[in-house]
Structure 1
Amino acid sequence: MAMQELKTKVVEYSPSTVKALVEEHFHMTVEVKSLPGYVDLNFLLTDTQGKRFILKIANADESLAELDMQNAVMNYLNGQELAYQLPEVIKNLAGNEITALKDGHGRPRPMRLLSYVPGVFYCDHKALTGHHYSQLGTLLGKLDLSLQGFSHSAASRHFDWDLKHAKSVIESKVGLITDQSQRQQVLKILSGFEQQVIPFMDELPQGVIHNDVNDYNLLLTSASLDAEVIGLIDFGDMVHSHQINELAIACAYAILGSDSPLTIIQAITLAYHQQRPLNGAELWVLLPLIAARLAVSVCNSSEAILTEPDNEYLLVTAEPAWAAIISLLKLDAKSVGFELQRLCLTPNKGAQASCLPVNESGESGADNASSERRRDILSQRAKRLFKTLSVSYEQPLIIERGQGQFLLDENNIAYLDMVNNVCHVGHCHPAVVAAGQAQMAKLNTNTRYLNDNILDYSQTLLDTFPESLSVVMFVNSGSEANELAMRLMRCKTQSDELVVVDGAYHGNTNKAIEISPYKFNGPGGEGAAEHIHIVPVPDPYRGPHKGMSVESGLAYAEPVQQVISKLQREGKQLGGYICESLQGVGGNLIMPSGYLDAVYQAVRAAGGVCIADEVQVGFGRVGTHWWAFETQGVVPDIVTLGKPIGNGHPMAAVVTTKEIAAAFVTGMEYFNTFGGNPVSCAIGKAVLDTIKADNLMLNAQDTGDYMQQCLVKLQQEFDIIGDVRGLGLFIGVELVKDENLTPATQEAQALIEWFKSRNILLSLDGPFSNVLKIKPPMVFNKDNVDYFISQFVLGLSHLNA
């Protein structure tokens, strides 16, 4: 709307003209005062009895059907006994709710008369508290609950302020934002919307919503601290959309100017949920929807500024939105979604224990359906799959989505994943997914054809290693990598004599099982082969040599030298030594200082090769280094990689020296159909790029250190916590019954089930299954730690009860 047009319309409908129109069409004598309006011309009328009204003269371009919808919804809601004051539609002398007018240009200007709703605007209250935010949430919930029974053909309009269309609106207008930093902020919001909202849109309930419950449309009884929310006005933005958008929009306005937006969002959301229960998907998408509303607002403001460059008001009104955007971008939207689910869907939180309908037996309908589906899946697995496949938990979970550090079940309820070290940079990381999709759509073939992907990726990967480790071969799994490492060792030393650490696990192929005491000495195992030599696990807590000192490390290294000496006495050549850089199934153990250095020296002096298994612990998990072997100050001869290398994509690698790689050239070709294919290489490079771009090593160090500090404090309070150990986001918590270190295995298993009931996924390791193994995706953060610790305290207290 041009400024000149606006002036013309104001003059055309001056207070005196309006006074005459009201007399003519409503037979009322009134005083007239102009009010501000975004689209309509608004006037406050006061009759001779002091009674007030609002007169609205619509813009010439406004749809008559949409005005009819506004009238219809006010009539509908006023008949619903909402206990809130809403405008009432007043008919003209002819009995019509809309009076047809035309301006001086012959354009239609529909006129409507509404009752006046008294009160203090929400925006004018200077001391809003949690009480008021809860009341706002209650109003929103009751409103949307009532609107479920309302429909109107005009509600299906396409509207830029409808959050269903946030993606297209932002994409079309973000280029109008001149400040580059602000533009990047909006693009980050758009990315979050695409990741965390769009996949769930089909599961968000829809209906007609007010779509603009802002602080200028809400009314309070007074400006006092105990003021109550009593009214709502202006239904001009109504649209048929996702109902959760109502809550998101109201929250977006409510947090403007606040230093603690999350507290406000939580208060409004819980109160809303107690009136209209929210489902898991709605709670999961709420924060990115709030951010999207703010992004749409600043995009629309940028567009309006181009039309009215001298309108300083547009700039001023956008400032609080930009401040709120900065605040929201500091939050992890997925963790907030998880918190909101816990707030609203956890029993004893608020008036509603669950968002799901409950049957006569007390079990929710969704729980019934899930239980039936779970039984069916287990039955089908038993018929079609090997019976050796195990499942987690007494009541196994049905998991259908992964996002960041969370797994979501069939009801979109999130679980904090603290054990999945495979999805290293976060479940379904968009950069990794995009890299795989793009390359898969372009080409996938084997390494017999020349392609740059394998060269780009191999160089990026090798750049993370010490200089001597300069050759790589790509395979498909950690098991295959360790099998290839054995072949390399054999070619280099002409020997299969191998030293392995007790309790170690290196994979599931024949050869990998042959070198894994965890398997060959476990259930169904056949014991160690003659050429496999087991040395004690360097356990600074439970083993004979305590602590992390060099003295302990040298003591644990001595058995390796003893094996080597025995082989030499028997005239046998040592092939090598293989060890996980941090012990995984052994109980998330950290080796004492000096251990690997002493072992490597002994092995090399005997002509053997040193193999580091980094399948579980590599790629920056330790925080301080790319590879866990670096924390011991050593450089292996062969390194095996797997699990996190492809963020869930099946790939692995073996990295070695030029000398050992040359020894592998025996005349027999080594070819791997899938190893090093272009898709795998594109995905692998995206993982490395993401670790760097998202500063995930630093996060692993900071978050891991913080978690260990919290756990050590718990250890001082609960005797059952015998040991806390770890590096970065590789942490073990060993549970014991007494000073004799009697394993608290049953208690540990009970805690795993407890954590699952609190939506935390953990599992156990160690020879006695009494060690909580903590290996979450690298995006795990301090808020996640706080939730875990709070539930750990409750779980331990429950054990002691």
Structure 2
Amino acid sequence: MAMEELQTQVEEYSSSAVMALVQEHFQMAVEVKSLPGYVDLNYLLTDELGERFILKIANADESLAELDMQNAVMHYLNEQDLQPYLLPKVIKNLAGNEITPLQDSYGRQRSLRLLSYVPGIFYYEHQELASSHHAQLGALLGKLDLCLQGFSHSAASRHFDWDLKHAKSVIESKVGLITDSSQRQQVLSILSGFIHQVTPFIDELPQGVIHNDVNDYNLLLSSGERDAAVIGLIDFGDMVHSYQINELAIACAYAILGAESPLAIIKAITLAYHQQRPLNGAELWVLLPLIAARLAVSVCNSAEAILAEPDNDYLLVTAKPAWAAIATLLKLDAKSVGFELQRLCLSEKEGAGNCFSSAEGTDTTSSERHRDILSQRAERLFKTLSVSYEQPLIIERGQGQFLLDEHNIAYLDMVNNVCHVGHCHPAVVAAGQEQMAKLNTNTRYLNDNILDYSQALLDTFPERLSVVMFVNSGSEANELAMRLMRCKTQSDELVVVDGAYHGNTNKAIEISPYKFNGPGGEGAAEHIHIVPMPDPYRGPFKGMSVESGQAYAQSVEQAISALQQDGKQLGGYICESLQGVGGNLIMPNGYLKAVYQAVRHAGGVCIADEVQVGFGRVGSHWWAFETQDVVPDIVTLGKPIGNGHPMAAVVTTKEIAAAFVTGMEYFNTFGGNPVSCAIGKAVIDTIESENLMGNARDTGDYLQTCLRKLQKQFDIIGDVRGLGLFIGVELVEDEKLTPATAKAQALIEWLKSRHILLSLDGPFNNVLKIKPPMVFNKDNVDYFIEQLAQGLSRINA
């Protein structure tokens, strides 16, 4: 509405004109005071007895149906049990009508309504708002939406830019109006979060008519004192049929403006809301990105208004608190906040078996589904296929460092080193979808993807490791490494580390003591030579010193010497750069340097298995072998390379690659296909753009510091070891290092009940293996440490 037109309206409906209208239609003598309004003209009326009323003259563009809806909802709510809250009541005119038609000087139809006055002071006027007021606000919202579940009106289905249901389209259409590039990028970040964290859960969000504008100008308190109570709500002009969670999101967006601790306010309002109208897992999961989206819609609409009125400084001033709140919210990890809100609202009483109550369905229904799935797996799948936990989980979604079950309840994933940059990372998903829609074929056709990706991957390696071959799994990568070794040395004689695991193909099992010496295994083949695991905690040589590393390396030298005495040529030595199933072990300093020297002196090749620990997980380097200051001859990659997409690679030297050229073609139908390469490139780009190596270093250091503090408190923690986000916690019964296997298993089940996913490794299954997605953060650490301490206390008790 143009400013001059609004001014004309104000003059047309002056105090004297309003007094005459009230006398004519309500036969009341009143004093009139103009009130501020967004699109309507509002007046405070006081009659001869001192009773007050609110008169509203609607904008000419406002439909009668929408005004009727406002009247209808006030009637409806005043008949419900909304005590102790006060709401306006509609007062009929002399003709018995709730809406009085007027005609303005432009000849347009206007509508006049008279409402009762709701006493109190506005929320924004209170100078000392406390958590109690935020809780009261949440309680009002919860009761309001609970009551509104029974209300409907045809006008509620209108399309409205302030309806968060349309946040995506509103932001997309208006974000270009924001002139500041950094602010525009902030809004685009919010849009991305909305698309990826809210959109997948849309079908899980209950809908209904909502107030849609509970802000500090529509909310009334009993007084300005500290113990003031929320007593009333006014202005139903923005009502719409939408997702009910939007009511809470909008109120929170207003409540955090100017606040130093927005998350504390959001939590207080949300918990109180939930206690009145229980929220489901999806609603809690999407709340923070919805709050951010409301602020983004606000600044986009402000940008549009500023273009229409560039000289209106007021518009700039009112947008400042929203921009400040946006900057604050973008510092939070929305998924971790969703997890925290679920813990806050869905927690059962202390001592319950599960941290969260089921948001939907019943335990009986859930257990029936579990039984059905397990039964069908047993019937159709190999019996060797295992499941995790005594009560297996049904997992239906993954986002970031979280897995979500069939009720959209989140679990903190601390063990999945496959989804390296986070479950379903948007950039990785988009890269795969885009390429899959364009082309997927084999490497016999020329395509730039394999060139772009191979260069990006090789750029992370030392210079001499300059040739790559793409395969489909870590097992296949290690099998190809064995072929490369044989072609280079003409020998299959291989030195392996005890307890190591290199895959599940025949050849990979043949070189994996974890498999061939485990249940169902057939022992080592004649050409496989086992050396002790370089365990600086449990082994004969303690500590991380170079002396310990060299002492363990002597076993490799002895194995090579034995081979030479038998007149056999060494083929090579393979070792995980950090021991995974061996118990998340970090090898002593100098170990690999001494081993590699001995292997190369004997004409063998050095193979580093980085399938579990590569791609920056150690925090300090791209590859874990770099922490030992060595350069292998062959490196095998898998798991994190595709963030869950089945791909792997072998990186080697030009010399070894040339030895593989024997006349036999090596062709892999799927290895290096355009889709896999696009996904792999997106993983590398994400690691770099999101500084995930730095996060692994900082978060991992913080986690180890916290764990060592617990170690001083709980004797059962025998050892804490790790690099970056590859950490092991070994549990022991006593100073003799008796493995606390049963207690470790009980602890894993306890942590699962607290919605933390971990598992065990090591020769005795007594090591907590911690290798979460690289987006794992310090807030996640704090929750894990809190729950771990509780679990250890229970075990001790």
**TM-score under structure 1 length normalisation:** 0.98
Q: Which amino acid aligns with 1:271?
A: A
Task: Show the 5 A alignment for 1:180-259.
Answer: 180-259=181-260
On the 8 A contact 2:358/2:407 being kept in 1, the answer is no
Aligned to 2:370: 374
On the 8 A contact 2:30/2:48 being kept in 1, the answer is yes
Partner of residue 609 from structure 1, selected from 592, 605, 625: 605
Partner of residue 675 from structure 2, selected from 669, 679, 695: 679
Cα distance in 1 between the residues matched to 2:307 and 2:100? 34
Aligned to 2:791: 795
Task: Show the 5 A alignment for 1:710-725.
Answer: 710-725=706-721
Task: Show the 5 A alignment for 1:90-105.
Answer: 90-105=91-106
**1:146 and 2:142 equivalent?**
no
Cα distance in 2 between the residues matched to 1:346 and 1:3? 52
Cα distance in 2 between the residues matched to 1:4 and 1:565? 97
Cα distance in 2 between the residues matched to 1:727 and 1:441? 39
Aligned to 2:775: 779
Q: Give SS of 1:101's match.
A: strand
Q: Give SS of 1:100's match.
A: strand
Offset, 1:706: 0.2
Q: Give SS of 1:734's match.
A: strand
Offset, 1:232: 0.2
Deviations 1:313-347 (A, max 9, x none): 11111000000000000000000000000000011
Aligned to 1:47: 47
Offset, 1:365: 3.3
Please, what is the CA RMSD of the aligned residues?
A: 1.2
Partner of residue 564 from structure 2, selected from 562, 565, 568: 568
Offset, 1:310: 1.3
Task: Show the 5 A alignment for 1:208-607.
Answer: 208-348=209-349, 365-607=361-603
Offset, 1:188: 0.2
Cα distance in 2 between the residues matched to 1:25 and 1:313? 36
Aligned to 2:108: 107
Cα distance in 1 between the residues matched to 2:349 and 2:78? 33
Deviations 1:653-691 (A, max 9, x none): 000000000000000000000000000000000000000
Deviations 1:97-120 (A, max 9, x none): 000111011101100000000101
Cα distance in 2 between the residues matched to 1:793 and 1:147? 43
Cα distance in 2 between the residues matched to 1:170 and 1:101? 36
Deviations 1:70-127 (A, max 9, x none): 0000000000020100000000000000001110111011000000001010000000
Point out the more displaced range, 365-374 or 309-318.
365-374
Cα distance in 2 between the residues matched to 1:356 and 1:533? 52
Cα distance in 2 between the residues matched to 1:320 and 1:256? 6
Task: Show the 5 A alignment for 1:756-775.
Answer: 756-775=752-771
Cα distance in 1 between the residues matched to 2:320 and 2:673? 50
Offset, 1:371: 1.1
Q: Which amino acid aligns with 1:282?
A: E
Offset, 1:309: 1.1
On the 8 A contact 1:277/1:354 being kept in 2, the answer is no
Q: Give SS of 2:100's match.
A: coil
Cα distance in 1 between the residues matched to 2:349 and 2:237? 38
**1:26 and 2:22 equivalent?**
no
Q: Give SS of 1:109's match.
A: strand
C-alpha change, 1:353 and 1:77, in structure 2 (3 Å) is farther
Cα distance in 2 between the residues matched to 1:150 and 1:316? 37
Task: Show the 5 A alignment for 1:145-164.
Answer: 145-164=146-165
Aligned to 1:167: 168
Offset, 1:311: 1.1
Offset, 1:356: 5.1
Offset, 1:234: 0.3
On the 8 A contact 1:344/1:353 being kept in 2, the answer is no
Q: Give SS of 1:49's match.
A: coil
Q: Which amino acid aligns with 1:259?
A: E
Cα distance in 2 between the residues matched to 1:393 and 1:467? 44
Deviations 1:198-246 (A, max 9, x none): 1101100000000000000000000001000000000000000000000
On the 8 A contact 2:449/2:678 being kept in 1, the answer is yes
Cα distance in 2 between the residues matched to 1:703 and 1:369? 39
Aligned to 1:361: none
Offset, 1:430: 0.4
Gap runs ≥5 in structure 1: 358-363
Offset, 1:647: 0.2
Offset, 1:382: 0.5
Q: Which amino acid aligns with 1:162?
A: D
Offset, 1:800: 1.5
Q: Give SS of 2:46's match.
A: strand
Q: Give SS of 1:778's match.
A: coil
Q: Which amino acid aligns with 2:26?
A: F
Aligned to 2:702: 706
C-alpha change, 1:145 and 1:114, in structure 2 (3 Å) is same
Offset, 1:355: 6.6
Aligned to 1:660: 656
Q: Which amino acid aligns with 1:587?
A: G
Offset, 1:370: 1.6
C-alpha change, 1:356 and 1:506, in structure 2 (3 Å) is closer
Aligned to 2:63: 63
Offset, 1:744: 0.3
Cα distance in 1 between the residues matched to 2:583 and 2:562? 29
Q: Give SS of 1:72's match.
A: helix
C-alpha change, 1:261 and 1:638, in structure 2 (3 Å) is same
Cα distance in 2 between the residues matched to 1:355 and 1:238? 32
Offset, 1:442: 0.4
Q: Which amino acid aligns with 2:245?
A: I
On the 8 A contact 2:343/2:355 being kept in 1, the answer is no
**1:752 and 2:748 equivalent?**
yes
Q: Give SS of 1:45's match.
A: strand
Cα distance in 2 between the residues matched to 1:641 and 1:659? 19
Q: Which amino acid aligns with 1:58?
A: A
Q: Which amino acid aligns with 2:376?
A: Q
**TM-score under structure 2 length normalisation:** 0.99
Aligned to 1:621: 617
Q: Give SS of 1:110's match.
A: strand
Cα distance in 1 between the residues matched to 2:558 and 2:311? 85
On the 8 A contact 1:582/1:591 being kept in 2, the answer is yes
Cα distance in 2 between the residues matched to 1:12 and 1:248? 38
Aligned residues: 795
Gap runs ≥5 in structure 2: none
Cα distance in 2 between the residues matched to 1:348 and 1:308? 55
Q: Alignment identity in percent?
A: 85
Offset, 1:8: 0.8
Deviations 1:437-488 (A, max 9, x none): 0000000000000111000000000000000000000000000000000000
Q: Give SS of 1:579's match.
A: strand
Offset, 1:368: 2.2
Cα distance in 1 between the residues matched to 2:7 and 2:678? 60
Offset, 1:366: 3.2
Aligned to 2:134: 133
Offset, 1:283: 0.1
On the 8 A contact 1:474/1:676 being kept in 2, the answer is yes
Cα distance in 1 between the residues matched to 2:81 and 2:16? 37
Aligned to 2:77: 77
Offset, 1:367: 2.4
Q: Give SS of 1:230's match.
A: strand
